[in-house]
Amino acid sequence: MSGKTNAGLNRVLCAGLLLAACLPVHAVRADWDFSVFTAENPSPEGMDRAFEYEAYRLMDEHAGRLQGVDAVVTRFGNTIVITGQAQGEGDRARVDKLVLEVAGVKRERDNGSIVIPARTRECGGKAMASNTKRKSIVKPDKDCSSLRSEDGLQLQVKGQVFNHIAIASSDPARQLAAAALQAAQATMSLLDAGVVNATDRSVIRLVAQDGVIYVLGNPDAFSQEKVRATLMATGGISDVRFYFDQPE
């Protein structure tokens, strides 16, 4: 069985486990062609889902260059978390680059988590005078990237991309299945405790990696303390980390 086929089966396995727990794993770049993006008022969670679909599509498209890679891309607003595993640092870096390209962003600093639009002048906008250095910026007529801003100043908004891909273990399929199962158990724990509707993509997203639960979401929609306490009481979870969008 080819590496591409194995990667596809592993992704189907993980997606199936998450879907069973009402946590669909799903992914956009300049040529977005999903109905959610052509809708007059696409929902934020719909845009996140479309982004994830597109990231997976491109990973499958480049499977020949990503041997042994099984990545999970999770997005909430302008925060993206990449988990899963790769055979080596080279593949880990290639997945990182692909996700950044899909989002149309670049890291503000090498190895940093903060990202900014990768392009400014090719956005179909009009050059305008800006800042004390007399440089020009572009006020875009369309997005320069997939970063979103409520006030329309898309060039000024920043996002975050966290790459937590691990180097593959001796039993990668089992490790991936365990992560998917742990995310599902975390979701059930929050539902059972009545802390937050953990299946509501407009409120919260959970992703697991090596015993750590990464929580993305709206910090005003739930109590971080209650979420942390509930998850830490769930077997097999060693840490809980919260990733929220940076204020504009």
Mean pLDDT value across the chain: 77
User: Per-residue confidence at 18, pLDDT binned at 50, 70, 90?
Assistant: very low
In a domain, 135, yes or no: no
Same domain assignment for residues 94 and 177: no
Same domain assignment for residues 111 and 176: no
- Residue carrying structure tokens 């080596």: 88
Residue 67 belongs to what domain range?
3-115+159-166
CB 25, CB 55: distance < 8 Å: no
In a domain, 131, yes or no: no
User: Per-residue confidence at 136, pLDDT binned at 50, 70, 90?
Assistant: very low
Which of 47-61, 141-155, 171-185, 219-233 tops mean pLDDT? Answer: 219-233
Region 141-165: what's the mean pLDDT?
73
State the total domains in the chain: 2
Which CATH number belongs to the domain containing residue 192 in this structure? 3.30.300
Where is the domain boundary, 131, 166, 201? Answer: 166
